[in-house]
Amino acid sequence: MYSFNGSEFEPNEEFKMFKNMIIDFYHNDVNEKLVVDELTAMMVFTVVEGKIYMTVYYIKATSTSIESHEVGPRIVMVPGRNKFGAEDMREEAMKVPQELVAPKKKKNVSKDMFGQTIGRVHAIGEDLEQLNKKIKLPKALRESKKEKKLSKK
Average pLDDT over residues 17-36: 77
Q: What is the pTM for the complete model shown?
A: 0.54
Highest averaged pLDDT of the listed ranges 32-36, 53-57, 92-96: 53-57
Domain, as residue range, for 75: 2-93
H-run or E-run covering 101: none
Indicate whether 100 belongs to any domain.
no
Q: pLDDT digit string (tens) for 58-110?
A: 988 887 888 888 997 899 998 887 777 788 888 888 788 888 888 888 888 88
Tell me the average pLDDT of the chain: 82
Q: Domain ends where: 44, 68, 93?
A: 93
Distance CA 77, CA 6 (A): 14
pLDDT of residue 46: 92
Nearest Cα to 2, choosing from 37, 36, 30?
30
Distance CA 50, CA 80 (A): 11
DSSP string, 115-140: S-EEE----PPP-HHHHHHHSPPPTT
Count the domains in the chain. Answer: 2
Distance CA 24, CA 83 (A): 19
| Domain shared by 33 and 88, yes or no | yes
